[in-house]
């Protein structure tokens, strides 16, 4: 059986990290990995997380299974974090399960959609997170794309997006990034979210909103605007959340899949199917990350502390956007990179070609994805001058 296997290429982003670690250039810079880093290049454990972990260590009384849905308190708190005081919660129309990270939430959503409609199609933005297509294909869905990013003008192709969504079948699903679009950094504004919500309501497709970066754009509530507006507008939708970025819990693998039904009875039916999907996939979700998050969100003091630490991460990334653009100008780059300051989250396309990407890697030890997507979190005041000088040389 195994003798029939052939070697598969490494994941483009994970493979880039392997090359970066092996590079002996003392000035090397990793702008590929989608993970927050501080000015020293570290991914620190948040102080509020350490306090919550100590509390868990002292108070945990059992390692028994939590059940397929996971912790009820976590599910309640994460649902409220994403939706706020929303009518779908008050009307008991939403059901949430804990998942192994945001990727687990997406896979669970894909399996749920396939159970509802075998052979269904899900539409994802062009471009989108590199793993979206693989996750949904593995779940048994057909994957198609709709226009999103205008590479030439470095902006959102909203006209193309809206026109494509109007042609989607009512039996299809459409994936939308709630905020901090990965990989372009281009988000819908409030007016555009309203138009997309109206299209979803008119056409009847199922919106699947991926909330991977809540709090990394403007703030927790502003970043959830589109998601909450969509929930105001349509009867049914799916939300996939992640605590990897905003709580810094990458390796703990904690996320959530929430599904909204037309009413409480429909939500109960949805829950039964959703739990069945979970049972034959990973059976029970991990508990540690959920316990950390629920401990923080169940404490006014820890929540306030978390808000402050989250703001520090957000402000650092936004500061690096402006610093990068300023230093490019200071190092004589005449091409306009100001679009970078108009985007949100950790990512942006530089808009350089693959030859220039390869030169940055081979000559300067600067590692970015072949599409020219960079992670702003890899930039610091200490390396930005070397980075911008290197970019100037390859342009």
Active site residues: 129, 210, 245
Alpha helices in the chain (DSSP H): 12-22, 47-59, 72-83, 87-90, 101-116, 132-138, 158-165, 190-203, 220-223, 225-233, 264-279, 288-297, 300-330, 354-364, 384-394
Long-range contacts of 155-160 (CB under 8 A, 24+ apart): 155/186, 155/339, 156/186, 156/187, 156/188, 156/192, 158/188, 158/192
Contact (Cβ atoms closer than 8 angstroms) between residue 389 and residue 40: no
Distances (CA, A) of 69 to 34, 243, 278, 356, 385: 28, 16, 8, 47, 48
Question: Which residue(s) pair with 156 in the sheet?
Answer: 149
Indicate the pairing of strand 373-375 with strand 347-349. antiparallel
Phi-psi region of 41 (alpha: psi -120 to 50; beta: other; left: phi over 0): left
Q: Do 388 and 327 contact (CB within 8 A), yes or no?
A: yes
Alpha-carbon distance of 183 to 342, in angstroms, equals 14
Pair of tokens at residue 374: 């960079």
Residue count of the chain: 395
3-class DSSP state for residue 178? coil
Distance CA 135, CA 275 (A): 19
- Find, among 66, 86, 85, 84, the residue nearest to 74 by Cα: 66
Identify the three-state secondary structure at position 98: strand
The token pair at 148 is: 């999103």
Quote the CA–CA distance of 360 and 367 in Å, as a whole number: 7
């Amino acid at each position: 059986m195994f003798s029939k296997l052939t070697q598969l290429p490494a994941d483009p982003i994970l493979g880039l990290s392997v090359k970066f670690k092996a590079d002996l250039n003392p000035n090397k810079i990793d702008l590929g990995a989608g993970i927050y880093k501080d000015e020293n290049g570290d991914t620190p454990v948040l102080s509020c997380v350490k306090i919550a972990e100590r509390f868990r260590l002292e108070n945990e009384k059992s390692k028994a299974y939590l059940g397929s849905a996971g912790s009820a308190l976590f599910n309640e708190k994460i649902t409220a974090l994403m939706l706020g005081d929303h009518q779908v919660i008050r009307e008991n129309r939403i059901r949430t399960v804990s998942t192994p990270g945001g990727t687990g939430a997406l896979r669970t959503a894909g399996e749920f959609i396939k159970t509802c409609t075998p052979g269904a199609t899900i539409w994802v933005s062009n471009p989108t997170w590199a793993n979206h297509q693989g996750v949904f294909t593995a779940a048994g869905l057909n994957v198609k794309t709709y226009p999103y990013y205008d590479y030439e003008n470095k902006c959102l192709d909203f006209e193309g997006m809206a026109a494509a969504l109007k042609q989607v079948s009512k039996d299809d699903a459409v994936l939308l990034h709630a905020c901090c679009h990965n990989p372009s950094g281009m988000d819908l504004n409030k007016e555009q979210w309203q138009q997309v919500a109206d299209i979803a309501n008119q056409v009847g497709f199922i919106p699947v909103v991926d909330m991977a970066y809540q709090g990394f754009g403007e703030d927790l509530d502003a970043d959830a605007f589109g998601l909450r507006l969509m929930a105001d507008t349509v009867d049914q939708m799916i939300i996939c959340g992640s605590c990897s970025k905003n709580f810094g819990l990458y390796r703990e693998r904690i996320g959530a899949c929430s599904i909204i039904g037309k009413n409480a009875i429909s939500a109960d039916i949805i829950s039964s199917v959703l739990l069945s999907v979970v049972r034959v996939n990973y059976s029970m979700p991990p508990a540690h990350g959920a316990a950390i998050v629920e401990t923080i969100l169940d404490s006014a003091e820890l929540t306030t502390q978390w808000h402050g630490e989250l703001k520090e991460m957000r402000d650092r990334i936004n500061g690096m956007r402006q610093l990068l653009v300023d230093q490019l100008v200071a190092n004589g780059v005449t091409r306009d990179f100001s679009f970078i300051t108009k985007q949100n989250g950790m990512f942006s396309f530089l808009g350089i070609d693959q030859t220039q990407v390869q030169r940055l890697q081979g000559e300067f030890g600067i590692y970015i994805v072949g599409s020219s997507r960079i992670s702003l979190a890899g930039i610091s005041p200490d390396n930005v001058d070397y980075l911008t000088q290197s970019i100037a040389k390859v342009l």
